[in-house]
């Protein structure tokens, strides 16, 4: 028996009291999930007649929904590919991109790990296909509590925009990941596993950092300064793997969807983005 889903896109719902409200479907990036939820919750105070329904699942999930026309706004921590844009157009869409903030893609270590810095090339040798770095001792590091000396690679699932961006920015477009990493469904899962595993290394958005992990600084190459992940270094582009965060609409934003996106890109929305731990497009009066 086929399962049929009925999806309301920016739909007007008749309320019990005879009034009406608008439902905006917002889906996608796990990196953007917390900030999208915070934005949706705060927008209720701006326009109580609009409800923004937020769900995660990864950038790939949001992009697929955008292509299929089953979402009003897709969240993505990577840009759409040309193939995805063409698929959306073939389905009657014309994707519009909105940069809502910036993220420093942090590398996470267990607090007992004495490592304080990495080059991008070192990370590529750890994570990349054909990379020869498999143990901490190969880097001249002894990690207390890591008796096996193995580097436990923690990654994201392949429908994640974080997974795709890390591959592009660290491994290079022509290189894939090594087999054998522990691929987590969400950013929080990455941080939780690394925080409880002395041998581990992981990566995810800066906003997911906790006191249970440490974050080394990164160098673009051996002659470059080592830059720590932060809101400031994400905004000024000095952190080697800072990235924009996107929301996409299937076509030109209109009506309540446009009003919502305008609010996100305005001072109130940008201050919420900063408060969650991401860099706003412009700092404005949030500091």
Could you tell me if residue 91 is inside a domain? yes
The pLDDT of residue 17: 47
The pLDDT of residue 147: 97
Could you tell me if residue 262 is inside a domain? yes
Considering the domain architecture, whether residues 216 and 267 belong to the same structural domain is answered as no
Q: How many other CB atoms sit within 10 Å of the CB of residue 134?
A: 15
User: Which residues are registered as beta bridge partners of 54?
Assistant: 26
Domain count, the chain: 2
**Cα 115–Cα 193–Cα 130 angle in degrees, nearest 5:** 65
The pLDDT of residue 9: 56
Parallel/antiparallel/unpaired status of strands 11-14 and 20-28 = antiparallel
Assess contact for 25 and 56: CB atoms under 8 A. no
Considering the domain architecture, whether residues 252 and 201 belong to the same structural domain is answered as no
Could you tell me if residue 187 is inside a domain? yes
3-class state of residue 155 by DSSP: strand
CATH number at residue 139: 3.40.190.10
Q: How far apart are CA 24 and CA 255, in angstroms?
A: 11
The pLDDT of residue 21: 83
3-class state of residue 111 by DSSP: coil
Considering the domain architecture, whether residues 123 and 208 belong to the same structural domain is answered as yes
The pLDDT of residue 69: 95
Length of the chain: 287
Ordered alpha helix ranges (H), the chain: 33-46, 59-68, 82-90, 120-127, 161-166, 187-195, 231-236, 255-265, 267-276
The pLDDT of residue 74: 98
The boundaries of the domain holding residue 39 are 11-102+246-280
Considering the domain architecture, whether residues 94 and 122 belong to the same structural domain is answered as no
Could you tell me if residue 287 is inside a domain? no
Considering the domain architecture, whether residues 138 and 166 belong to the same structural domain is answered as yes
Nearest Cα to Cα of residue 69 among 251, 245, 246 = 251
pLDDT in tens, the chain (287 residues): 333 333 445 655 544 444 568 999 999 999 999 999 999 999 999 999 999 999 999 999 999 999 999 999 999 999 999 999 999 999 999 999 999 999 999 999 999 999 999 999 999 999 999 999 999 999 999 999 999 999 999 999 998 999 999 999 999 988 999 999 999 999 999 999 999 999 999 999 999 999 999 999 999 999 999 999 999 999 899 999 999 999 999 999 999 999 999 999 999 999 999 999 899 997 776 75
Considering the domain architecture, whether residues 187 and 256 belong to the same structural domain is answered as no
Considering the domain architecture, whether residues 140 and 236 belong to the same structural domain is answered as yes
Could you tell me if residue 168 is inside a domain? yes
Considering the domain architecture, whether residues 227 and 136 belong to the same structural domain is answered as yes
Could you tell me if residue 286 is inside a domain? no
68-72, long-range: CB < 8 A, 24+ apart? 69/9, 69/93, 69/250, 70/5, 70/7, 70/9, 70/25, 71/7, 71/9, 71/25, 71/26, 71/27, 71/28, 71/250, 72/9, 72/10, 72/24, 72/25, 72/26, 72/249, 72/250, 72/257
Considering the domain architecture, whether residues 116 and 232 belong to the same structural domain is answered as yes
What interhelical angle do 267-276 and 33-46 show, nearest 10?
140
Residues 6+ apart with CB under 8 A from 214: 108, 109, 110, 111, 113
Q: Give a three-class secondary structure readout of 159-210.
A: CCHHHHHHHHHHHCCCCCECCCCEEECCHHHHHHHHHCCCCEEEEEEHHHCC
The pLDDT of residue 283: 72
CA distances to 17, 51, 70, 211 from 25, in Å:
23, 9, 8, 33
Q: How far apart are CA 267 and CA 273, in angstroms?
A: 10
Residues 6+ apart with CB under 8 A from 232: 279
Could you tell me if residue 26 is inside a domain? yes
pTM: 0.83
Considering the domain architecture, whether residues 63 and 179 belong to the same structural domain is answered as no
Could you tell me if residue 159 is inside a domain? yes
The pLDDT of residue 7: 42
Considering the domain architecture, whether residues 207 and 143 belong to the same structural domain is answered as yes
The pLDDT of residue 12: 56
Considering the domain architecture, whether residues 193 and 228 belong to the same structural domain is answered as yes
The pLDDT of residue 49: 95
């Amino acid at each position: 028996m086929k399962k049929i889903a009925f999806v309301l896109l920016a739909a007007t719902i008749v309320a019990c009291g005879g009034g009406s409200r608008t439902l905006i479907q917002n889906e996608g990036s796990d990196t953007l999930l917390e900030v999208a939820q915070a934005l949706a919750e705060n927008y209720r105070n701006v326009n109580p007649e609009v409800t923004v329904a937020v769900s995660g699942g990864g950038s790939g999930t949001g992009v697929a929904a955008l292509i299929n026309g089953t979402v009003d706004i897709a969240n993505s921590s990577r840009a759409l590919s040309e193939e995805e844009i063409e698929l959306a157009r073939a389905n009657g869409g014309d994707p519009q991109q909105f940069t809502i903030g910036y993220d420093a893609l942090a590398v996470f270590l267990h607090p007992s790990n004495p490592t304080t810095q990495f080059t991008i090339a070192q990370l590529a040798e750890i994570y990349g296909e054909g990379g020869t770095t498999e143990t901490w001792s190969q880097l001249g590091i002894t990690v207390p509590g890591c008796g096996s000396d193995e580097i436990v690679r923690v990654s994201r699932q392949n429908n994640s925009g974080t997974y795709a961006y890390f591959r592009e920015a660290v491994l290079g477009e022509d290189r894939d990941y090594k087999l054998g990493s522990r691929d987590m469904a969400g950013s929080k899962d990455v941080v939780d596993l690394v925080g409880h595993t002395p041998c581990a290394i992981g990566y995810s958005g800066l906003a997911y950092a906790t006191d249970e992990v440490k974050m080394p600084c990164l160098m673009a190459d051996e002659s470059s300064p080592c830059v720590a992940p932060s809101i400031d270094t994400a905004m000024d582009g000095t952190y080697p793997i800072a990235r924009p965060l996107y929301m996409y609409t299937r076509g030109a934003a209109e009506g309540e969807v446009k009003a919502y996106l305008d609010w996100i890109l305005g001072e109130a929305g940008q201050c919420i983005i900063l408060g969650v731990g991401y860099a706003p497009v412009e700092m404005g009066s949030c500091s």
